[in-house]
């Protein structure tokens, strides 16, 4: 079918070399396949974005809305066998039906006994003396992000966003067409929570930077499973740049929770899930003696500044997590340990 596009993204340079060596690469090219770079690509909307209004089958592990780089995309996750069968027929096809549909025997695929290992292109790190004087060359699009500021002893913050359950790192920090900005945090941070912005109203980033300029911390309130999906550190790095100091949620996914801690954003879980319903955008909250709570408590008391109510948040932190938050983030913590 001339209307069907077919692309193959080898998992690594070694896999590409193996395909070239056993002849499979030539077979795929002869069949009309496009060979893509061995890198993070179509999975996050960097190349091979589907056309508007078309269906795309992908063998990746993510199909969040818009992640492919096309707004309103229709991406289905399938097995490699289903993808190939569908390429041959031009529609979503069960590969077990190929004998009946095309007279093609279902292939028996055998994994190689071992994969090639070729580290010849990996450069060894400089020794300590050479590293101390090495010049890091950065283009104009690469901007060194600011480091997290230490947490205040008493946190005063405002709820910037109240979101629901299953907020992914793609909701927080969109990929696709925006990912080209990932080396420029001040620019990339402008699209934090882009999917929740409304035309004609200040964006999440604009509101957050406005609070930051006044010395008021930003707070995100969320439901269950906040931060699921890709382990995208920008989903913590960019909110940190915008001045977000805490996330209060019914639950926070493990990897994202670690990233929040690394960038000195305090992850807090509602002790009583019903308290989620009592918070609204614009509420000013305060946590007194935040340092003391991080240092030695399993919970914090969070109060509305108008005195209307208070509630308890859980601090589910390891001793290392506590040290990182009190140090002002992972880089500061690591730097402090290195210098004794």
Q: Are 193 and 161 in contact (CB under 8 A)?
A: yes
Q: Which of 319, 318, 314 is nearest to 302 (CA)?
A: 314
Bridge partner list, 155: 287
pLDDT digits over 130-176, tens only?
Answer: 999 999 888 888 998 889 999 999 999 999 999 999 999 999 998 87
Pairing of strands 155-162, 266-270: unpaired
What residue has token string 């601090």? 315
Cα 302 to Cα 311: distance, rounded to the nearest angstrom: 5
Q: 11, exposed or middle or buried, with CB in 10 Å at 0-12, 13-18, 19+? A: exposed
Cite the residue boundaries of each domain of the chain with CATH code 3.30.499.10.
Answer: 7-102
When pLDDT is cut at 50, 70 and 90, the band that residue 252 belongs to is: very high
Which of 10-19, 94-103, 129-138, 276-285 tops mean pLDDT? 276-285
pLDDT digits over 46-88, tens only?
Answer: 778 888 889 999 998 778 777 777 888 889 999 999 999 999 9
Query: Where on the phi/psi map is residue 33: left (φ > 0), alpha (ψ -120 to 50), or beta?
Result: beta
Cite the residue boundaries of each domain of the chain with CATH code 3.20.19.10.
Answer: 155-338
pLDDT exceeds cutoff 80 at 340: no
Please compute the mean of the pLDDT values over residues 172-199 and round it to a whole number. Answer: 91
Pairing of strands 244-249, 266-270: parallel
7-102: what fold? Answer: Aconitase; domain 3 (3.30.499)
Cα 338 to Cα 131: distance, rounded to the nearest angstrom: 15
> CATH number of the domain at 155-338, out of 3.30.930.10, 3.90.79.10, 3.20.19.10, 3.30.1180.10?
3.20.19.10
């Amino acid at each position: 079918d001339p209307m069907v596009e077919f692309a193959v993204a080898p998992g690594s340079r070694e896999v590409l070399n193996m395909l070239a060596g056993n002849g499979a690469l030539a077979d795929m090219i002869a069949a009309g396949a496009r060979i893509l770079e061995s890198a993070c690509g179509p999975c996050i909307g960097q190349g091979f974005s589907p056309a508007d209004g078309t269906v795309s089958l992908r063998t990746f592990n993510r199909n969040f809305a818009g992640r492919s780089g096309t707004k309103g995309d229709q991406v289905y996750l399938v097995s490699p066998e289903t993808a190939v069968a569908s390429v041959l027929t031009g529609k979503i096809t069960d590969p077990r039906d190929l004998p009946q549909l095309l007279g093609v025997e279902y292939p028996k695929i055998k994994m190689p006994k071992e994969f090639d290992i070729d580290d010849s292109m990996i450069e060894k790190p400089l020794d300590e003396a050479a590293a101390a004087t090495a010049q890091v060359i950065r283009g104009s699009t690469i901007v060194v992000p600011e480091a997290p500021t230490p947490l205040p002893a008493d946190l005063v913050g405002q709820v910037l966003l109240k979101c629901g359950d299953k907020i992914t790192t793609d909701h927080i920090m969109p990929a696709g067409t925006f990912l080209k900005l990932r080396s420029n945090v001040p620019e990339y941070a402008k699209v934090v929570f882009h999917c929740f912005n409304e035309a004609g109203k200040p964006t999440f980033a604009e509101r957050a930077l406005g609070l930051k300029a006044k010395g008021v911390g930003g707070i995100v309130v969320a439901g269950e499973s906040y931060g699921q999906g890709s382990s995208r550190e920008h989903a913590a790095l960019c909110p940190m740049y915008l001045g977000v100091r805490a996330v209060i949620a019914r639950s926070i996914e493990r990897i994202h929770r670690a990233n929040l801690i690394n960038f000195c954003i305090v992850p807090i879980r509602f002790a009583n899930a019903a308290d989620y319903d009592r918070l609204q955008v614009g509420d000013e909250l305060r946590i007194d003696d935040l340092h003391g709570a991080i240092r030695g408590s399993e919970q914090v008391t969070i109060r509305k500044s108008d005195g209307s109510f208070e509630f308890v948040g859980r601090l589910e932190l390891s001793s290392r997590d506590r040290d990182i938050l009190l140090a002002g983030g992972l880089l500061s913590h690591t730097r402090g340990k290195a210098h004794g």
